[in-house]
Structure 1
């Protein structure tokens, strides 16, 4: 049996350390009388480990593992302990040096893909582009996909073998696998990937806003500063800054007759017109001034026909100083008679259950082929250089021309503070809550969406049909489909 006398401090010798047996059934610690703080730990299985127990100049406890005997001899253990004590007296922390050494060892095998695996769940807590739901219907997050596309050749390379030059070549030499028509480069995509990767490297190395203790990676890595890489999008004249594209009246007369259900015959050759909800989703986006993801996520239960409203979740900003995940804001917006008429033409809405999508894909999943639909509409209408988000901007611009107050339009756009253009305090949204109290009060948002629908009907009446090019040179006239609202007053 091991007695209290067996574990009393003593002057270690090679004979004692080698021959000591622990029969107590629990771990014991024996202190060395020669080197203050040097301790030999012995497990019930007689595994012997040298550790150093001491305090810093300000009194903080420090415990450092030196090594296991006999891999570390008594002589070496004493020498290492003396070096640690000397470093602590000089104000250095041997634990930090050990972490740096560990980081250097890790960096020899840690790859860029491994680092992304580490950081993704951490950044996802505060950054939506690192969350799974950031790309509807896609497995990879927006940030991860962008980085892997641009830096694909470096993903499996150990980080200690990735130089600043390698990263710069990947950014400035990136070419997309499926380039957009008329584009010879993808500088915007490369710049976006660089923007996403830079904070990852800063986090891993403890740079910038991650410099504070505990903010970055526990074991710091030595990685290049991506802030030294030139952003290729800066010198690219094909990339726009603030986008101000709106569709002209002539473009609307050519585009809108195509945005119907069933989709115009031949618009998407490989897709049955009755399975194609893409074009009518574009129209609904315009009529409601919505974002793409809001239309994509719309379920039948979100539409209240009797109240003629749509309840949806929209983008919002995190509260200042908060690190909690961003929660989407729930809003209820009015629907115009034209938007209700549109919904009543859709089998997905009329025959669907509460959880069914209003605008499903051909496989009854989320509508995700927006770019293909956009291309088909452009080709059929003879228009170009506009984006689905430009429909939302066009609708807002039309409302401005119709004399609708900016605060009303901002409310329909579901911006966080619709009063930011008014001469009111920043506290106004806290008191003027977006809810209806008076039943007979004028609903200015509903008036606005009906004005927009009337303006669109007036525009479309100027061109009752358009010619859609068909394979082989044949053409087919396409006319906008009109339905009578069940709430409309008979003429």
Structure 2
């Protein structure tokens, strides 16, 4: 391996791009700027370091990581951060300042900004997801919220010992996953996959370490469908839960929609006459706008809901909320309360998503055509697929309304002793 970096920027960048990861850590001195070294790790990670003397003692100051394009941050040259991206020109300029500061008796290490901590990296990751995204457009707000939740509950608490992101390898990922429950394990792996593929992180570490980690096993496909007795039990338990979780569960069962689509429902998405819910493409999983007819029973539930106001007395736009400013999110505690009200014996293991599957199954029992059910669920990947899916733009609006009204009538028959919900006073 050559002993020095060529003096011209373009030649230096080409030289660095062609470096092969060594078997042991190496420092390559810069031929132009005295004291500047390119540190090459066996992992392929590249960083800049300056060797100088501080108070008469030899010292090494890490000034950033190598990046061919460098950073466009206006603070470059005034602040020192081990994780800032520096091209050859920027590294040489900062190295000169570090050596001059040291000669004047100033310790440049006291000017560092600690940006190697995981919390900062994850904050920037979530911020990027919300603003520019990773594929040319921001991710959905609910997805970014889920990233933030998983990072806060499953990742950071188990990596509080990590002080520098560059020290993480695939074994750390696998150890973290082993500490989590199966569901949390899959969620954390999904977030970490996106995180380690993110270019700033991949550049800092030198490779996408998630590719070496063993992925969690895929969950077995669930086919849990509630029986009529169980539907009745859940409905009665939902009545006891009251607002916001109780009526939210009832609407999930009546409409067959996804959990977050109902939990994050806004009053502005409900028609003035309470006959339909209109979800924009940004609010649906398959990024398609979706209209959900509201059956009379569902309308009665919505009419009975309170209108929450914020601290200034203004009405919240969220249908289900405890803060007026954010949608309902306490699913774990809500489900525990719901299960408690279901009584003994407890229902066999079931999830809120099973309500969606139950609705679809009951629609089939009522003789509703599969393409209509798929239109209701906004899940057009079954019978209507291929060429038919491309050319069939019919929305089945009247068929969807008729089907959901039939299902609401069947629901009333199943929960015959729950007539209280039909009265607005409930």
TM-score range, shorter chain: 0.5 to 0.7
Query: How many residue pairs are counted as aligned between the two chains?
Result: 328
Match of 1:228 among 212, 220, 243: 212
* Alignment-derived partner of residue 44 in structure 1: none
Give runs of aligned pairs for residues 6-405 of structure 1, distance below 5 A.
52=8, 67=32, 71=34, 100-102=46-48, 106=64, 110-123=116-129, 125-126=133-134, 133-134=142-143, 141-142=148-149, 144-145=151-152, 148-149=155-156, 151-154=158-161, 156-172=162-178, 174=179, 186-203=181-198, 219=203, 221-222=205-206, 225-231=209-215, 233-234=216-217, 240-260=219-239, 264=240, 267=241, 276-306=243-273, 308-313=275-280, 314-317=283-286, 328-348=287-307, 356-361=317-322, 365-382=326-343, 383-384=346-347, 385-405=349-369
Per-residue deviation, residues 85-119 of structure 1 (Å, max 9, x unmatched): xxxxxxxxxxxxx9934399646773444443454
Q: How far apart in 2 are the matches of 1:54 and 1:252? A: 69
Higher helix share: 2
2:266·2:319 contact (CA, 8 Å) conserved in 1?
Answer: yes
Match of 2:423 among 483, 487, 490: 483
Does the C-alpha gap of structure 1 residues 307 and 111 become closer, same or farther in structure 2, counting only changes over 3 Å? closer
Does the C-alpha gap of structure 1 residues 353 and 390 become closer, same or farther in structure 2, counting only changes over 3 Å? farther
Q: How far apart in 1 are the matches of 2:305 and 2:125? A: 43
Residue 253 (structure 1) shift: 1.8
2:45·2:206 contact (CA, 8 Å) conserved in 1?
Answer: no
* Alignment-derived partner of residue 61 in structure 1: none
Q: How far apart in 1 are the matches of 2:331 and 2:9? A: 64
Per-residue deviation, residues 129-166 of structure 1 (Å, max 9, x unmatched): 97654366x8x624533662464234x42234445444
Q: TM-score, normalised by structure 1?
A: 0.56
Residue 290 (structure 1) shift: 1.4
2:256·2:360 contact (CA, 8 Å) conserved in 1?
Answer: yes
Per-residue deviation, residues 170-195 of structure 1 (Å, max 9, x unmatched): 332x15xxxxxxxxxx1332343233
When Rg is computed on C-alpha atoms for both structures, the one with the higher figure is: 1
DSSP-derived class of the 1:348 partner:
coil
Q: Cα RMSD (Å) of the superposition?
A: 4.3
1:456 aligns with 2:415: no
Does the C-alpha gap of structure 1 residues 331 and 219 become closer, same or farther in structure 2, counting only changes over 3 Å? closer
Residue 433 (structure 1) shift: 4.0
Q: How far apart in 2 are the matches of 1:292 and 1:126? A: 25
2:300·2:421 contact (CA, 8 Å) conserved in 1?
Answer: no
DSSP-derived class of the 1:242 partner:
coil
Residue 122 (structure 1) shift: 4.5
Q: How far apart in 2 are the matches of 1:224 and 1:331? A: 37
Residue 368 (structure 1) shift: 2.0
Q: TM-score, normalised by structure 2?
A: 0.63
